Amino acid sequence: MNAITVLTAILTLTAGIGVFLMACHMMSTHLENAGSRRLKQLFARVGESKWVGVGIGAVGTAAIQSSGAVTVMVIGFVNVGIMSLTQAATVIYGANIGTTVTAQLVALGMLGGNGISTTVLFSAFAGIGAFILMFSKRESWKHVGGILTGFGTLFVGLSMMSNAMDDFAALDSVKQFLAGIKNPLLIVFLGALFTAIIQSSSVLTSIAITMVVAGLLSLDQGIYLTMGSNIGSCVVAILAGMTSGTNAKRTALIHLFFNVMGVVVFLLIALLLRIASKGVWTFGSIFEHAFPHAPQIQLAMFHTVFNVCTTLLALPLTENLVRLVCRLVSDKEKTAVDAGPHLYFLDDTMLSAPVLAVKQLKAEIENMAKLAMENFKRSIEIVTTMDFSASGQFADTEKELNYLNGELLRFMVQLSEKRLNQTDLKYLNASIRSVSDLERIGDYAENIVEYAESLRSQSASFSDKAVEEIRTMESRILALYDQVSTAYHNLDTDALKRAYVIEEEIDDLTEQMERNHIQRLVEGKCTPQVGAEYLSLAQNAERIADHLINVGNTIRE
């Protein structure tokens, strides 16, 4: 009979963990999509103030219910140079505070008296959310339904875990075995190990709360288990950091050192308390006095106090922590990465946070446009002056444009497989075309350089009048680029209208260049061979303008 009870309890616990994890993921995804614009704005505000970084980390984690996702985002930002190590450290501190919200929700859900249990009450939200998901057609309401369903399902999983713990509590052999585990270091290690396996400190903390409530663990055991979960939560960040650049590895180490420091400090405080009071005072007894008759609240409050105090301790030491990780992880890899083409604003770790990945994708496309136009200017300079000193730099940038085209398309395919809201999904589809347009601009600039090489092989060059016309075309295309950039960055339809006017001027200018060319041929001022290169250049320049307009037109979608 005991064997059947144990097996049933194990299966129920496993099912409860699975339901809890899926509920966290569902709630996190819908919260992230529902607040995508605010989340983008939030992370854009990370400045030099440490307190702002802590606040953003705490609010961001509380909003999407995943400290792991926030930490991985931060690693991605640091890896591409958007965020400094000091800024990243403060956001990570805040993320640890934000993750305590889940424990507080779990503790709240386990309160109950003679009336309806809060677990049952909150679980009902799963049904309400499911109805909204099924019958609502508006995307915003679907996100609300997803959030409510995830929230309610979280308590369904919690109820299953709690029932499993009650079954275990009925077995004296299990209670005696767990009561025998008293070494704080061993319990911290087990907490870190289990969290590393399931990759969720929220789940481990919730299990600890249910075990304490069921009487399987003492409050002190639950406290040490929760402390260990903080160390185990670093595994996600370490895995993300180890596959990225130098600064990403440093960020992962900061996360690890921060949590280990907090655990070590609290273990020492616990030891001193025990020695000073001769075993009377422990963290457990302190929180029992502070929150009597509510073991779930006692453990949840310790979890919050632990992370807040660790943050207050770490903040003044942030610069020292950054210097330490910089010494431990050298810059050798950095020079190798920076030597060749690379993404400037994106990193594969950002795929864990799709809404922020979309924001960074936009910055990457704007940078690609800037590189393409720099090469266009170089090509015009080469063909009008016949000075090939910049040809090496031109070739490097063209190589980089080809690399960005391939890497961005690969990234966008992977991003399209993530759950995105309709606005971001439309932007992603438009971006695939934009990247191709920008790569074509690079190709046309390359054609112009080839025309210059052809002229050099003939010991020829364009006439002063032809050069003047080419320079006029260049100035109009650069003006077009300025308007398209403004339209694209700010979603400015007025700037796009001004771009249309300039594009019309470029079309007229192309026709004028063709007429002038024919006139020069008739007058014998131009040879047919040089004239052919001139006409091709004018047509290529017009196509560059067309591709810029294509990029601008994506804002209409």
Structure tokens at 126: 């799963």
- C-alpha span between 471 and 484 (Å, rounded): 20
pLDDT band at 65 (very low <50, low <70, confident <90, very high): low
DSSP-assigned letter for residue 525: S
Number of H helices, E strands in the chain: 24, 0
> Does pTM top 0.75 for this prediction?
no
Q: Which residues lie below 8 Å from residue 330, measured CB to CB, with a gap of 6+? A: 246
C-alpha dist (Å) from residue 230 to 18, 190, 260, 297, 448: 20, 12, 8, 18, 58
User: What own/partner pairs with CB < 8 Å and gap ≥ 24 does 14-18 have?
Assistant: 15/157, 15/160, 16/157, 16/158, 16/159, 16/160, 16/161, 16/162, 16/163, 16/164, 17/157, 17/161, 17/198, 17/203, 17/207, 18/157
Structure tokens at 391: 């040809």
- pLDDT for 333 equals 47
Q: Which residues lie below 8 Å from residue 422, measured CB to CB, with a gap of 6+? A: 139
pLDDT mean over 178-203: 86
Tell me the residue ranges of DSSP E strands in 354-484.
Answer: none
Above pLDDT 90, what percent of the chain? 38
Q: Are 274 and 223 within 8 A, CB to CB?
A: no
Residue appearing with tokens 């438009």: 430
Compute and round to an integer the Cα radius of gyration of the chain: 31
DSSP per residue, 129-168: HHHHHHH--SHHHHHHHHHHHHHHHHHHHHHHHHHHHHHH
Average pLDDT of the chain is 84
pLDDT mean over 225-251: 80
Structure tokens at 248: 């990403």
Convert the pLDDT of each residue in 36-54 to its tens digit.
Answer: 556 656 666 666 678 888 8
How many angstroms from the chain centroid is the CA of residue 317? 26
Enumerate the CATH 1.20.58.220 domain ranges in the chain, comma separated.
348-556
Using the predicted structure, report yes or no on whether residue 340 has a pLDDT greater than 90.
Answer: no
- pLDDT for 407 equals 93
- pLDDT for 115 equals 47
Q: Are 388 and 66 within 8 A, CB to CB?
A: no
DSSP per residue, 190-222: HHHHHHHHHT-HHHHHHHHHHHHHHTSS-HHHH
CA dihedral (335, 340, 346, 348) in degrees, to 10, reads: -90
Structure tokens at 421: 């809201």
Question: Residue 523: which H helix or E strand, with range?
Answer: none
Phi-psi region of 293 (alpha: psi -120 to 50; beta: other; left: phi over 0): left
- pLDDT for 249 equals 83
Nearest to 206 by CA among 100, 97, 111: 100
- pLDDT for 154 equals 79
- pLDDT for 33 equals 64
C-alpha dist (Å) from residue 417 to 158, 352, 353, 428: 30, 11, 12, 11
Q: Is 66 helix (H, G, I), strand (E, B) or coil?
A: coil
Say which CATH superfamily domain 348-556 falls into.
Phosphate transport system protein phou homolog 2; domain 2 (1.20.58.220)
Using the predicted structure, report yes or no on whether residue 10 has a pLDDT greater than 50.
Answer: yes
